Amino acid sequence: MAARKHPENNGRLGKGVKHGENLIQRTRAAILNTFDAVESRGRKISEILADEFEKNPIKFMELAAKAMPKEIRGEFNHTHTADKLTDDQLADIATAGSRRASKAKTSQKALH
């Protein structure tokens, strides 16, 4: 496949060409087009995924977990703005956040 010139990069070619935010949009569009192409050939994406799950369920679940959005939970009980908090209060907030992040990493490792 020949390298394409990209007008957003002054027509440059090769590895040095950066696509920026457009790369994400193009990648998503390519994936959706791939799904459409596969389904137009009479094969549902869900069937392909089911086949992959049957071949190697652990690998399938690992890949699925990477593709799924991460759930974000938060409890915000503080009524002060950050500039009005004392150093001790800020340290407590940082410590609590660090503990939650550590627990989440431990839980994620346990799944693998």
Cα–Cα distances in angstroms (integers) from residue 46 to residues 10, 39, 43, 70, in the given order: 41, 10, 9, 22
pLDDT tens digits, one per residue of 25-84? 888 899 899 999 999 999 999 999 999 999 998 999 988 888 877 776 666 665 656 667
pLDDT at residue 8, as a whole number: 56
Q: Residue 10 pLDDT more than 70?
A: no
What 3-state DSSP class applies to 72?
A: coil
DSSP string, 15-44: TT---THHHHHHHHHHHHHHHHHHHHTT--
